[in-house]
Amino acid sequence: MKKWAVALALICVAAIGLNSQTTPQAPAPQFTPDGKLVLPKDYREWIFLSAGIGMTYGAPAEDGRQDFDDAFVHPAAYRAFLQTGHWPDHTIFVLERRRASSQGTVNKGSVGRYQSDLIGIGAEVKDRSRAPEGEWAYFTFGTNSDTAPVLPKTAACYGCHSQNAAVENTFVQFYPTLLPVARAKGTLNASFKE
Amino acid sequence: MKKWAVALALICVAAIGLNSQTTPQAPAPQFTPDGKLVLPKDYREWIFLSAGIGMTYGAPAEDGRQDFDDAFVHPAAYRAFLQTGHWPDHTIFVLERRRASSQGTVNKGSVGRYQSDLIGIGAEVKDRSRAPEGEWAYFTFGTNSDTAPVLPKTAACYGCHSQNAAVENTFVQFYPTLLPVARAKGTLNASFKE
């Protein structure tokens, strides 16, 4: 009986050890039954990759307005990228667009701007169960919607990402902590010119 | 003996349960023996609060250059803030300053800018073992240094934060997901005018 208790104790210790060492796996993107992507509720707690301002990806806005954007990626996908320079299956990027404000209480330099209201959310997803060749899919959420249909292949994002992105279809050239990883791992797209 | 085994099993189950439910505690800031703050190595994996550009906190730079800044806070402190609207003991903020670049491969609107080289790191720390009244302390790291002495009380940051910050000494007015929390919890500083 003593042996049995010792064995049980060892199993417990092993179980506690396994539990505390768990590396999070990238969870599969969630879709509604009619195929809409569900916005991950906790994306603001994911890994922040970078922010930009006025990144119009085309002609500047006529009224000169510049919005901020913030890019987030799931922590498990981020850790896989640090190890390999590639994005694993189930990678989800969330891009948030926020209004730029300048009427702060401290920011006395009138040129300074900080982020305020949320004005749009986009997502880029790699899911081999839906795109076996590893193609990325794009989604645009309204600010009051937590589901979004996949954008048609004619949407500008598909062509622009595939032609201009530094790693696969992702703009790693704008993520200052990941660009050196891609260089070191040799995973920059051949067509990408630094 | 059987009872003993059952008790051990129950203890194990409880231990596994506790382990998996653990809410991360904010780890104490690390200091060198001579009192310098050690830059947390993983701060880029903490919670991103917001980014700004050209936030000079004073007169604009004479050459018109605008840098980005990114604010990060430890996840445990962030979760405590969501629950209470207050920052717990051991809260650490890291503020990163990065060069703004505009020579991207995609960003054809010449007004758009994205983040590139790291040009400075600051930290703001609440540690009652060093400041029993809950005063915050400020630190400035060089880009090649992972330790920093506490800034003297005459440094501008102390006065500016205590006079202008929205919650305690922190600029929650610039963190769009936390300002509504502070409003809801009633923890905005009395002197802060929205």
- pLDDT tens digit string along B92-101? 999 999 999 9
- Residue A134 confidence class, pLDDT cut points 50, 70, 90: confident
Phi, psi of B50 (to 5 degrees): -175, 170
List the single residue in A47, A53, A105 with the smallest CB-CB distance to B53. A53
Best probe of the B interface among A174, A189, A191, A193, by most B CBs < 10 A, is: A174
Q: Is residue B97 a contact partner of residue B66, using CB atoms and an 8 Å limit?
A: no
**How many beta carbons lie within 10 A of that of residue A72, not counting itself?**
23
- Specify if B11 maps to a domain: no
Task: Check pLDDT > 70 for residue A25.
Answer: no
Judging contacts by C-beta atoms under 8 Å, the chain A residues touching residue B47 are: 44-45
Judging contacts by C-beta atoms under 8 Å, the chain A residues touching residue B160 are: 106
**Per-residue confidence (pLDDT) for residue B103, from 0 to 100:** 73
Best probe of the B interface among A111, A163, A164, A181, by most B CBs < 10 A, is: A111
Q: What residue ranges of chain B have pLDDT lower than 70? A: 1-25, 57-62, 104-111
Contact A112 B56 (CB under 8 A): yes
- Specify if B96 maps to a domain: yes
Q: What is the largest CA-CA distance in chain A?
A: 81
Q: Could you report the per-residue pLDDT of A101-123, keeping only the tens digit for each?
A: 987 656 555 568 999 999 999 99
Euclidean distance between CA atoms A165 and B194, whole angstroms = 41
> At B181, which amino acid appears?
V
Contact A174 B98 (CB under 8 A): no
ipTM of this predicted structure: 0.84
CATH code of the domain covering residue A42: 3.50.70.20
Looking up tokens 């610039």 gives B174
Phi, psi of A164 (to 5 degrees): -115, -15
Look at chain B and report how many structural domains it folds into.
1
List the single residue in A66, A68, A109 with the smallest CB-CB distance to B60. A109
Closest by CA to B165, choosing from B109, B87, B60, is B87
Q: Which of A21-25, A141-145, B102-106, B190-194 has the lowest mean pLDDT?
A: A21-25
Residues near A123 by beta carbon (within 8 Å), at least 6 away in sequence: A37, A39, A92, A93, A94, A95, A138, A139, A141, A148
B194 → chain A, closest CA residue: A105
List the single residue in A15, A51, A72 with the smallest CB-CB distance to B16. A15
Euclidean distance between CA atoms A65 and A26, whole angstroms = 36
- Specify if A55 maps to a domain: yes
Judging contacts by C-beta atoms under 8 Å, the chain A residues touching residue B109 are: 54-61
Full-prediction pTM beyond 0.90? no
Contact A111 B60 (CB under 8 A): yes
Q: Domain range spanning residue A91?
A: 23-185
**Per-residue confidence (pLDDT) for residue B132, from 0 to 100:** 80
Judging contacts by C-beta atoms under 8 Å, the chain B residues touching residue A48 are: 44, 48, 70, 72
Q: How many Å lie between the alpha carbon of B176 and the closest alpha carbon of chain A?
A: 5
**Per-residue confidence (pLDDT) for residue B72, from 0 to 100:** 98
List the single residue in B2, B47, B112 with the smallest CB-CB distance to A53. B112
Helical pair B2-21 and A2-21, crossing angle rounded to 10 deg: 0
Contact A15 B20 (CB under 8 A): no
Q: Could you report the per-residue pLDDT of A41-99, keeping only the tens digit for each?
A: 999 999 999 999 988 765 566 677 889 999 999 999 999 999 999 999 999 999 999 99
Contact B114 A192 (CB under 8 A): no
List the single residue in A1, A106, A174 with the smallest CB-CB distance to B5. A1
Is residue B55 classed exposed, middle or buried when 0-12, 13-18 and 19+ CB atoms within 10 A define those classes? buried
- Specify if A59 maps to a domain: yes
**Per-residue confidence (pLDDT) for residue A168, from 0 to 100:** 95
- Specify if B93 maps to a domain: yes
Q: How many Å lie between the alpha carbon of B120 and the closest alpha carbon of chain A?
A: 14
Q: Is residue A140 a contact partner of residue A36, using CB atoms and an 8 Å limit?
A: no
- Specify if A37 maps to a domain: yes
B102 → chain A, closest CA residue: A55
Residues near B122 by beta carbon (within 8 Å), at least 6 away in sequence: B94, B95, B97, B138, B139, B140, B141, B157
- Specify if B188 maps to a domain: no
Judging contacts by C-beta atoms under 8 Å, the chain B residues touching residue A15 are: 12, 16
- Specify if B43 maps to a domain: yes
Q: How many helices (H) and strands (E) does chain A have?
A: 4, 7
List the single residue in B58, B100, B117 with the smallest CB-CB distance to A109. B58
- String of b and e for B11-30 (b: at least 16 CB within 10 Å)? ebeeebeeeeeeeeebeebe
CB hemisphere CA count around A148 (13 angstroms): 23
